[in-house]
Structure 1
Amino acid sequence: MNGVAYVGRSATAGGVPVWQTVSDGDNPGFPSATACGIAIVSQGVNSYIRVLTTDNRVYQTHGDTNGATFVWDEGWTELTPGPTVSLRGKAFPHRARP
């Protein structure tokens, strides 16, 4: 929202999350001007956030999972190569109806 990314974690499934910003402070390098999509994955004590930008770049940061909290204190790094572009929403060829 407005160039700021948040991540939340709750103690229980469906519980009230505690929100933290991961786009400034201890996480330098967040692409705030062009970020358009975000994904998070948590594997044991490691958590990763990836951000897709409008210019087709992907950035990632790592955090530590400690019980019901995250520790985000690493900068953002660009992953290369970025995703390949695919066409979406292309119209099907027109077929005459009998």
Structure 2
Amino acid sequence: MSLIAKDPQARIDHAIDWSAYLAGQSVIASVWSVHPADGLTVEDAAFEPGRTSVRVSGGAVGQLYRLTNRVTLSDGQVDERSVTVRVEER
């Protein structure tokens, strides 16, 4: 799991390149979630056959959030990747 530092006033984009893990499959669905659920906001999300992306905003200074992307692949497999977002004044 990687770490991203984010200012509470900033909007940031994050992407995951799934192509190295797909073995001939493609992403057919993508859902992003945040834990804890209050503070950091998923504003927008998108996906292509080999890549997913999200835009997040907000968050409380000093708080750590787990931003998780759960994907469904064309063969029915489900996988997920997470990143930690630390909110700090920058």
Report the TM-score, using the length of structure 1 for normalisation. Answer: 0.37
The structure showing larger relative contact order (alpha-carbon pairs under 8 Å, at least 6 residues apart) is: 2
Q: Decide which structure has the larger Cα Rg and report it.
A: 1
- Please state which structure has a larger fraction of its residues in strand: 2
Report the TM-score, using the length of structure 2 for normalisation. Answer: 0.39
